[in-house]
Structure 1
Amino acid sequence: MSNKNRQHERKTKKHKERLKKEKTHLYEKEARMRLLRKYPLMFMNKTGADPKFISLVEQAVLQVNFDDHDQFSNWDRYALKKLVELGYKDAEPLIKKTAVEKHAEGDYKAYIALYFFELTLGSLLFKLIPESERKKYLPFNDMQVRFEGRGILITFTQLLETSGPNGTAYYSRHRPKISIDGSEFTVAFSRHAIERICERLNPRWLTYAGAGQVHAVFSHCKRFDFVTLHNDQPAITFYDILSGPEFIAHHTYMNHVLGGERLDPKLGKAYFRVGYCPIAIEGEFAKAKTFLYPGYTATPEYSLLLNSSLPYTEMVRLKQLAINNDRDKTMLHQDVEVIRWFHDNGVPQVIQTHEEIFDYNHGVGKLS
């Protein structure tokens, strides 16, 4: 081997050793920083929504104190520390496992804090913003708190809007389509329709969880089905996902509407019908005008009742249940008799599909 080659080999070896030492040093430094840092750092992707709304959230973030017992419980802190120690991927199953154990012990406060720990910070941030200020920007804007790695990432989404002959139309960046007589239209919503959906879908839409639920319909839902209501009124119908058994919608629809009937997982994920929106065509948009809960006047469920062979008094009784129904009565009070009747008699209230009806990834940042 020539001297030149030997010199090159020595330099390469030293370079590799130096890189190895630097890498080891970085790992050790990161480990020391984790020991010094009890709680995860918070990062914000300051794009994607109204700058004034983002500023309100930023001000709320500055008020967060993980050691404040008025803001976080001991179980909240346990979850946050595990996040720093293990990273979200490994911490999340451990935290959920501990939650289930606490539930078995009858410690329901610990169970709620741990099982839904991802909601705690978002709920606090919303509480730190005065309701009057939140109301200016919701549900047209939304904030998502996501745990990634050993940190917390706050991202934002916002509806797009356009002026039309009958006021502003709000629509998703996904631009979901429906087909009518061979022509495609982008689904959009009037302000009135948005207000009715908030009111009837989740009256607590100014809370973090409630805002996320209603915003998902406008911003993240990709599938709307075209239907014709009573008197040939064109409309759209849409669905929400039946998540795991820890969620109230799963309990309501699986145990009470379906009567414990097992769904075939081969048929895809389960979704429940949310309701209907009569639409008007405005240029390229199919604009929702209002929101009707299943069974309201003019819906397919309402027509099903009117045309049924039920005794008149029974039909009237169910009709009254239907036109006075809303999401809270169905979910919180388990008042599902009429919803179950619709499902059993020709208008499905639960569907299964392999199609991903919601897409939460559009425009969402990543924590590196």
Structure 2
Amino acid sequence: MRILHTSDWHVGRTFHGHSTTEALGTVLDALVAVVRERSVDVVLVAGDVFDGATPAAEHYGVLERALSGLHEAGAVVVVTSGNHDSAARLGFQAEFARLADVHVITRPEQHDVPVTLHDEHGPVHVYGIPYLEPSLVRHRYPEAALKRHADVLGFVMDRVRVDAGQRGGRSIVVSHCFATGAAGSDVERDITAGGLDFVPLTTFDGPDYVALGHIHGRATLSDRVRYSGAPLHYSFSEADKPRGAWLVDLDAAGLGAVEWVDLPVPRRLVRLTGTLDELLLSPDYAEFEDNWVAAVLTDDVRPLDAMPRLQRRFRWCALLEHRPATTHDDGRETYGARIDQKSDVEIVAGFLEHVRNGRGPSAAEAELVDDAFAAVAAREVSR
């Protein structure tokens, strides 16, 4: 049986104010092509299908097109909800979708009721574990102490192992969590009450393969426990990380070959560093003019109107940071200690030097400061 493991589509997410809907649609079309070309039997989507709990109508259209394409390509689809999804909205009409072999698992009680598939070697039981917020599920199982997400997953995995042992055959688990050993990602916004805590890797002992979601970069925690990451880059910190999915083969004994399949990157991300004039004028940067650009300006003083000027050359410049090449070390003294026994004029000069990264007032500015304080002193004397 051949399985394609993907996750964290985040349909509806924006990238620095820009819609990602069209780009994501392109990537999901490529995912459908992989299913068709590589004869994939099952597609797993491990949570965070949508980016928020109230998707817009066009976002449902993206999901419908993707699921229809996967079904038409011949794959069974198993989808679970993540912490960004509304379980109720994602699971709406799940019973109808199941008739087309699209299994959308969002209800807590479904965690130990597998989708059972068959190949020439026998049954394969796919256990979809929706994101289970402890505060929302602990009342269902009063016999267990479910304080943290790790407690909940430990509890439900025990139930999964019991059920899988009774059924026999091979098994797969799909879960959305932060497993120990996963590299963090600044693009994952934790919007749940209480947060997603760490889940020990040993929690997932037993199944032949565990398809994880929540981390946006691919990661291999063990041969059989992996993150596929998101299909799009949602942060400049992810710029150098590949986008794709895991192609997993199960044989008669369980886990067989695992292969990474790259997906297209509609618009690449790049971080450019230099002065504003260098970025605007140097021919070395011409190749990046159609990329998403994060510009790091090294000018000693922050240039005026830098972003619109950059966007005239780099249309997709989305992020601007000022990081001067020359920095001023103020030492470790407190502000009070630094200004002790200094005149008002010296304090102002020091402030200007600090905010300008070492460049103090010009002669004309110093004269203005002197005049200002002289006027204040004159008013004080005349009172």
Give the alignment's TM-score, normalised by structure 2. Answer: 0.19
The structure whose residues are more often helix, as a share, is 1
Give the alignment's TM-score, normalised by structure 1. Answer: 0.20
